Amino acid sequence: MILIPQKWSCLPVAFARALDISFSEFIERVGHDGSEQVYKDLKFRRGFHVQECIDIAERMGVTCVPIEHHYASTPTGLETYLIGTLEEQSQRFSRYLDETPRGVLQGVRLNSKQQTIGHACAWVGDRVYDSNTSGNWQKTKSSPYKFQDRLLNSFCVNTLWRLRW
């Protein structure tokens, strides 16, 4: 089992940091390292699903509450109704960030080919801990940045997983 972060392991890196445990301990708790090639396209790995991370947190006595950044209602999946304005939704999300000492931010980022890929970062205190900012997946203690600087780091947030002990 690979016990150091890889390019497919931003989600467990983020959850481990937010839960204040080591990456290797988190991987041992999950029971796999995400490296298995399960898809026809061999450039993709098994990776991790957020539900696996939530299960680890729950077993540690930590609840994960999803807070969406922007949200809408839809009766059919084709037509949407935005609840409030985007500004109101952003203010609401900021309020949750202010009230959340530890969590995980999940969304997408741009890769080197300017394609969007799933990404996750830890939220600790008032900073984003992004394993991608160092450009080195072996380094999990990347320089933290403020939430408002996320777009400078090509990170678009969809969900805050608010951790509650």
Cβ count near 49 (within 10 Å): 12
**CATH code of 116's domain:** 3.90.70.10
- Within-domain flag for 4: no
Type of residue numbered 125: G
What region, left, alpha or beta, does residue 40 occupy, with left being phi > 0 and alpha being psi -120 to 50 degrees? alpha
Task: Report pTM.
Answer: 0.90
Domain enclosing residue 57, as ranges: 10-164
Where the chain has pLDDT below 70, the residues are 133-143
- Please give the tally of structural domains in the chain: 1
Res 138: pLDDT: 44
Structure tokens at 5: 């972060």
Q: Let me know if residue 5 belongs to a domain.
A: no
Residue 153 within any structural domain of the chain: yes
- Count of residues for the chain? 165
- Predicted pLDDT of residue 43: 84
Residue 150 forms part of a structural domain: yes
pLDDT at residue 142, rounded to an integer = 53
Q: pLDDT at position 133, please?
A: 56
65 falls within a domain? yes
For residue 3, tell me if it sits in a domain: no
Q: Is residue 2 assigned to a domain?
A: no
| Cα distance between residue 165 and residue 99, in whole Å | 13
pLDDT single digits (tens) 79-126:
999 999 999 999 999 999 999 999 999 999 988 888 899 999 999 999
Asked if residue 131 is part of any domain, the answer here is: yes
* 36 to 40, 48, 92: CA distances (angstroms): 12, 11, 39
pLDDT at residue 137, rounded to an integer: 42
**Cα–Cα dist 159/138, whole Å:** 25
